[in-house]
Structures are given as C-alpha cells and as structure tokens.
Amino acid sequence: MSGYRTIEVRRLSGALGAEIYGVDLARVLPDETVAEIRRAFLDHLVIFFRDQTLTPAAFMTFARRMGKPIEYPFVKGIEGFPEVIEVKKLEHERQNFGGIWHSDTAYLAIPPMGSMLLAREVPPHGGDTEFANQYLAYETLSAGMKRLLDGLVGVNASAKADATRTREDRVKTDGRSDAREEYVAEHPVVRTHPETGRKALYVNVGHTVRFKDMTEAESAPLLEFLFGHQVRPELTCRFRWEVGSLAFWDNRCAQHNPINDYHGFRRLMHRITLAGDQPR
C-alpha cells in the first residue's frame, strides 16, 4: 500500500486489519518506522506481524515504543515482567481466556488504548481471533438510532457472567491477590476516538450490563440489537495465528473474539496492555 516508506502494509479485509511486512520488531526501530507502524495501527484498527522472534524484554521494548504498558487487574504477569500476562488454554481446559466478543477491560474507569498479543504456542488447527470495526458499527446505524445512542451511557462490569467464565481457569492458576471482586465503570455508548476524531460504538456483550438510569430489563432489547449489529460479518476480519505472530489492536474502536475451537490442544500467548484515556 502506498504512503509508507519503511514498511509494507497489506490489508486483510474490507472492514479492518492489515499485515505489516519488512520489519523485525526485535531490532531497535528508527523513529520513522515507529511512526509508520503507529499510522497503520490508526488506519487499520488492528495490525499483524509474522515471524517475530521476541524475548519478553524485546516484546516490552516494542510495546513501550507504542504506548505505556500497564498491568492486567485479574492475572499476574510472568516472572520479571508484571505487564506481560500469559493468555493460555491447556489441553484439559474447556473455556478459553476472554472467549467472547469484547473490548479489553471496558469495566475500568480508564480502559486501555490498545493490546498486543504474541503467539508462543498454537494448536495445529483452530484458535483464530476475529476483530470487528466499531467505527463502521456506528456509521452503519440509521440517523434515528444514532440520535438515540449519542446521549446514552453504558454501565460496564467485570462480573458479567459469560465473561467471568472465560477467565476462571487463569484466575485459579495465575490470579492476583489484590484483584477486586468486581470493577464497574460508566462510559458513553458512542465514544469519540481521541486521535482520529471518529465516532465508535462502545458497548460490548462481554461487559456492558445496562444503560445508566435504566434497568437491565429495560436496556436488554436495545443492547441485544447492538451486540448483534456490531459484529456482523461485513464489519469483521479473522486472523490465523502461527508461532511468532503478533497482533496489535485498538481497544477504542475495535472488538475481538478468540474462537474456542481447539479442545484437547494447548495455546499459549503473551499479552501486553497499553494505557488509554477516559472515553468521551
């Protein structure tokens, strides 16, 4: 794709996603390359790199060039790197970590800007991750629905049942002793991206419980519509992992869903979360 001097950018789908070629993330990256990776991230919402051989220290170095790594509230980091957590499903486990459409930790008062996932071990088949464009989710709504949503505030909670189940195994084995029982945060249903200025739908089936000043029962019909609308196939892309693959996605305007279709096999990833700002 034109407009990049130091990297090659290949779009993955019509809605979002691009693979980046011509860069070794284990090396010290020139400022121009860092700026172009950052621009591709904002343009495509999720970017992917293949065949990256990164130690945890090198992974952290790259993450720091993109933002400020922060700790995850429920799971401890790996030894020596508190901001790097293991996202894993073992051979005997049935639930996969975060296995539901969501934007990472939307139940925090200041949710993350982005997340990075690096594949360490992958199953022989399955284990893909889907991503969905929440700019398009908002833009494809009717004018009347946009007017309705623009004034609404969503109540997001970490204890929503379906999402809680997807982290049970990891909390048992790697849980943090200082984790709260529940985190709750209120965010606008439509947020404006602080860097691009575009509006994005900001509710998700994993964490959004209801609208502020409404009951769950009153909120449910509209939320059910939005949850289905925002992940329609034409708004998504799908990524097939290989060892050394790295994904970097924008939690402010994209959702993701790790597909749980590899029972009996092991999948191990390292994740770093980057600090964000308060949604507006």
Q: What angle do CA 183, 159, 278 make, to 5 degrees?
A: 35
Asked if 91 and 265 touch (Cβ cutoff 8 Å), the reply is yes
**Catalytic site residue 104?**
yes
Asked if 86 and 269 touch (Cβ cutoff 8 Å), the reply is yes
The one catalytic residue in 104, 169, 174, 250 is: 104
Please tell me what DSSP assigns to residue 233. G
Query: Tokens in use for 237?
Result: 């892309």
pLDDT one-digit tens code per residue, 69-83: 999 988 899 999 999
Tell me if 241 is assigned to some domain. yes
Q: Are strands 18-21 and 46-49 parallel, antiparallel or unpaired?
A: parallel
**Catalytic site residue 102?**
yes
Tell me if 2 is assigned to some domain. no
Tell me if 41 is assigned to some domain. yes
Instruction: Output the pLDDT for position 163.
Output: 72
Residue 72, CA distances (Å) to 113, 124, 161 in order: 13, 28, 19
Tell me if 279 is assigned to some domain. no
How many domains does the chain contain in total? 1
Tell me if 189 is assigned to some domain. yes
- Amino acid symbol at 275: A
Instruction: Output the pLDDT for position 167.
Output: 65
Instruction: Output the pLDDT for position 181.
Output: 75
**Catalytic site residue 256?**
yes
The one catalytic residue in 102, 191, 207, 210 is: 102
Tell me if 280 is assigned to some domain. no
What range defines the domain where residue 77 resides? 8-274
**Catalytic site residue 125?**
no
- CATH code of 34's domain: 3.60.130.10
CA 72 to CA 163: how far, in whole Å? 15
Q: Which residue ranges of the chain lie beneath pLDDT 70? A: 1-2, 161, 166-167, 179
Burial of 143 (0-12, 13-18, 19+ CB in 10 A): exposed
Tell me if 156 is assigned to some domain. yes
Entry pTM? 0.94
Instruction: Output the pLDDT for position 1.
Output: 46
